[in-house]
């Protein structure tokens, strides 16, 4: 499965650093008489060598924990001339490559969902194999748990020598600061076990990540780490490490102007990684999934505005309706219409109400008479994906404050998540 690359036109402005920066440096105390310390240029060269040695040490120690992932599946290609001359469609074997890394001594491998997903994006590829550093032979792997909405997956190799399992320690992405060192490991363009280096460019870049439950394939907006370490197709699922060798993120996407023109994404110095803390919060649920799907937390509501999508109805926000139509129905400009509230759920316990009548229109239907959620924890909500983006990192016992409109009345409602929200 191929995730579409984000597309944009970027303008980069360089900063010229003059030699005066070197001349302004002051030798270290106690080293004034050292010939090496007396030269600012040599002192700078020494600092660069120290950084290089740090990178070499990290790669030597933790690259054995990197995993090369290969998927195979049969895809039927329609015969373009079959309608005229007859003949059958052709079945071809489609291969995909990506990366992952060991997270524990049992051999669990964390990667992106889209690395192991099937061609349709629904469920895993039928054949997944993995290979570790300095080994020519790959071994099969099976799915432990899938989290499409987070674009994360946990797989486990079968028959791999236990001595080859080298977990990489997990860091704390909440403590990251822009400017920190970042090392990306993976298999760009299938060039397995490659390493690039850069910095953390941003720690809170909001981008669509993962795949929605609506079947549209759209991602849920989440916080991501931005880095200028070179990331290319094939790096997906690989680790992003800090200067201590701890995993701070899972490489997942790139911003690629070239990809918009050619369809093949290439590094432009803007890559994104899923913060490792999001994965750590999800890891216990993935380990207990028994090969199934782990979903984002649920409040217990069903969207009340749906339109006919390709093959199935798709929930949408009020922005999909015309202003005149919303005015006639007495609805706000934007928001998530609550169609139904399941009993004994956090939404029901908080007093949220679904619609009591349904009105159909060309291409869709809407539930009326219930609540409309317009914001969650201060973030605007115009559809189920907006609500999920606020809930996605919540844990049992956490709460979310919803701004709700019912008729002409607006109020704030506090909803507390329970264990049932995560089942």
Eight-state DSSP code of residue 330: T
Q: What residues act catalytically?
A: 114, 151, 236
Distance CA 317, CA 312 (A): 16
Give all strands (DSSP E) within 228-335, no chain letters: 239-241, 247-254, 271-275, 301-303, 305-308, 313-315
Distance CA 396, CA 2 (A): 33
Beta bridge partners of 183: 197, 241
Distance CA 376, CA 361 (A): 28
Distance CA 194, CA 168 (A): 16
CA-CA distances (angstroms) from residue 302 to 57, 236, 338, 353, 373? 51, 33, 6, 11, 12
Distance CA 199, CA 194 (A): 17
Distance CA 320, CA 318 (A): 5
Q: Are 294 and 418 in contact (CB under 8 A)?
A: no
CA-CA distances (angstroms) from residue 303 to 215, 256, 297, 373, 374? 14, 34, 15, 10, 13
Question: How many C-beta neighbours within 10 Å does residue 312 have?
Answer: 10
Contacts of 173 (CB under 8 A, 6+ apart): 203, 225, 248, 249, 275, 276, 277, 278
Question: How many C-beta neighbours within 10 Å does residue 323 have?
Answer: 9
If 0-12 CB within 10 Å is exposed, 13-18 middle and 19+ buried, where does residue 89 land?
A: exposed
Give all strands (DSSP E) within 19-178, no chain letters: 66-77, 90-102, 109-111, 127-132, 139-147, 152-157
By C-alpha distance, which of 386, 401, 385, 393 is closest to 346?
401
Alpha helices in 171-272 (DSSP H): 257-262
């Amino acid at each position: 499965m191929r995730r579409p690359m984000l597309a944009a036109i970027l303008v980069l402005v360089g900063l010229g650093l003059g030699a005066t920066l070197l001349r302004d440096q002051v030798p270290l105390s106690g080293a004034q008489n050292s010939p090496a310390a007396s030269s600012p240029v040599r002192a700078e060269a020494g600092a660069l060598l120290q950084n290089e040695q740090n990178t070499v040490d990290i790669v030597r120690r933790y690259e054995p924990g990197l995993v090369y992932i290969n998927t195979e599946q049969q895809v039927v290609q329609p015969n373009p001339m079959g309608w005229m001359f007859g003949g059958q469609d052709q079945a071809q074997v489609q291969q995909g490559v990506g990366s992952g890394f060991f997270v524990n001594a049992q051999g669990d491998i964390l990667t992106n969902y889209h690395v192991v997903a099937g061609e349709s994006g629904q469920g895993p590829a039928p054949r997944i194999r993995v290979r570790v550093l300095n080994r020519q032979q790959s071994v099969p792997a099976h799915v432990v748990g899938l989290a499409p909405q987070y674009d994360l997956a946990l797989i486990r190799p079968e028959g791999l020598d236990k001595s080859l399992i080298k977990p990489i320690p997990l860091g704390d992405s909440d403590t990251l600061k822009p400017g920190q060192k970042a090392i990306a490991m993976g298999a760009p363009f299938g060039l397995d076990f490659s390493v690039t280096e850069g910095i953390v460019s941003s720690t809170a870049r909001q981008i669509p990540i993962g795949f929605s439950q609506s079947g549209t394939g759209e991602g849920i907006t989440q916080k991501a780490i931005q880095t200028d370490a070179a990331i290319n197709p094939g790096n997906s699922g690989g680790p992003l490490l800090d200067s201590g060798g701890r995993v701070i993120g899972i490489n997942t996407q790139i911003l690629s102007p070239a990809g918009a023109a050619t369809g093949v994404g290439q590094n432009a110095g803007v890559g994104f990684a899923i913060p490792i803390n999001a994965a750590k919060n999800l890891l216990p649920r993935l380990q207990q999934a028994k090969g199934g799907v782990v979903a984002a937390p649920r409040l217990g509501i069903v969207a009340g505005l749906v339109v006919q999508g390709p093959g199935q109805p798709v929930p949408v926000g009020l922005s999909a309706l015309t202003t005149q139509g919303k005015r006639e129905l007495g609805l706000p400009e934007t928001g998530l219409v609550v169609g139904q509230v399941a009993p004994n759920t956090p939404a029901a316990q908080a007093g949220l109400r679904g619609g009591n009548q349904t009105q159909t229109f060309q291409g869709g239907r809407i539930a009326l008479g219930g609540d409309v959620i317009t914001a969650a924890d201060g973030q605007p909500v115009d559809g189920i994906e907006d609500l999920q983006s606020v809930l996605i990192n919540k844990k049992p016992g956490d709460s979310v404050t919803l701004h709700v409109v019912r008729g002409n009345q607006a109020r704030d409602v506090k909803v507390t998540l329970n264990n049932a929200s995560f089942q």
